Structure 1
Amino acid sequence: MLLPLADEPFTVPTDRDMLPSERRTFVRTHRTCVYGYRRMHDGPAMSIVYYIPTDDDELLVSTMAGRGKTKAIARDGKVSLCILDERWPFAYLQVYADAVIERDRDLVVDVMMAVAGRMSGQPLGEEARPFVEAMAAEENRVVVRCRPYATFAQPPRHLHRNDQEEVITHWVSGTVAWDAADPV
């Protein structure tokens, strides 16, 4: 089941690294990411996309079958999603995932409608479904189903003004398994 757009995105703590459960909540409550994959030549490919989380922690991305994302998944099956916080101070969470291509027309249309809702901030009405179905067919749309297996967090540490008395500190984050438990 596709999750609806969260009323309020998760606010990242600024005094410590995110717990594993907070990392998952961060992903579930945001909507945009930098989608990256390995290219055959040159450096990684990256693009900004909307993603749709599911109730079983998959992340779904709509794309055209003829695009590089689809070809790279057929070759490799590994992607990275750099989930973006849209609020200051900016934070991000890198998600490493195994990916497959889904061609099921109902799923493709459902994801496209959910993306439209995230873009506009409100759900798309069912009266738009025939138009979305036509667009999906015309553009030969598919869904990238991403199954996260690990995350890497970046803490939001920024100067808010040049005369602040607080010392800015940083800490080292690490890669954490997607399904890791919080420390007790």
Structure 2
Amino acid sequence: MTTMTDNEWRSFLTAGTRLAHIALTRRDGRPHVTPVCFILDGDELAFALSPGSVKGKSLAHDRRIALCVSDERQPYSFVTVEGEAHVSAEPDQIKHIAARIANRYYPSQPADDLAESFVQQGFSAVRISITNVIARRI
């Protein structure tokens, strides 16, 4: 097992259309894991949060978050990120993140249209301040 360098794990996170599996703790202490489309935006990881989701309720109670992105092909590499989530209802933030997600995961759809629909539907923008990274190539 080899530890990835900073550049290697950043490249791993931005390659292709891998999903991040977000891990949170519900208010009653039960764990919650769910896949999300995401982007690496500078030194933060970001995703869009649908209104009324378990993720949103969990983050309102506890902003600590962890996620794992893995490769399903050998050599089965993975990157685990830990941090603190910051949720924003600011339309410009939502549009920025949603447009980048659209470009990455839905390239055949107009990014601006998807971004605007996220704002109209009441999505929020989530930015994760990264506090720890575990990145391995097996």
TM-score, structure 1 normalization: 0.64
Count of paired positions:
137
Shift of 1:72: 1.4
Tell me: higher relative CO, structure 1 or 2? Use CA pairs within 8 A at least 6 residues apart: 2
For structure 1, list consecutive stretches of 5 or more residues without a partner in the other structure.
1-14, 157-184
Shift of 1:69: 1.3
1:36 partnered with 2:36 = no
Q: Deviations over 1:5-47 (max 9, x none)?
A: xxxxxxxxxx522234433443344642101111123531111
RMSD (Å), alpha carbons = 2.4
* C-alpha contact (below 8 Å) 2:40/2:46 kept by paired residues: yes
Distance in 2 (CA, whole Å) between partners of 1:25 and 1:134 is 29
Counterpart pick for 1:145 among 109, 127, 133: 127
For the residue of structure 2 that corresponds to 1:53, the secondary structure is strand
* C-alpha contact (below 8 Å) 2:2/2:136 kept by paired residues: no
Task: Give 1 or 2: higher helix fraction.
Answer: 2
For the residue of structure 1 that corresponds to 2:130, the secondary structure is strand
Distance in 2 (CA, whole Å) between partners of 1:118 and 1:87 is 20
Q: How does 1:1-184 map to 2 (within 5 A)?
A: 16-29=2-15, 31-41=18-28, 43-55=30-42, 57-120=43-106, 122=107, 125=110, 129-130=112-113, 132-138=115-121, 140-156=122-138
Whichever of the two has the greater Rg, that structure is 1
For structure 2, list consecutive stretches of 5 or more residues without a partner in the other structure.
none
Shift of 1:86: 5.0
* C-alpha contact (below 8 Å) 1:32/1:51 kept by paired residues: yes
TM-score, structure 2 normalization: 0.82
Task: Give 1 or 2: higher strand fraction.
Answer: 2
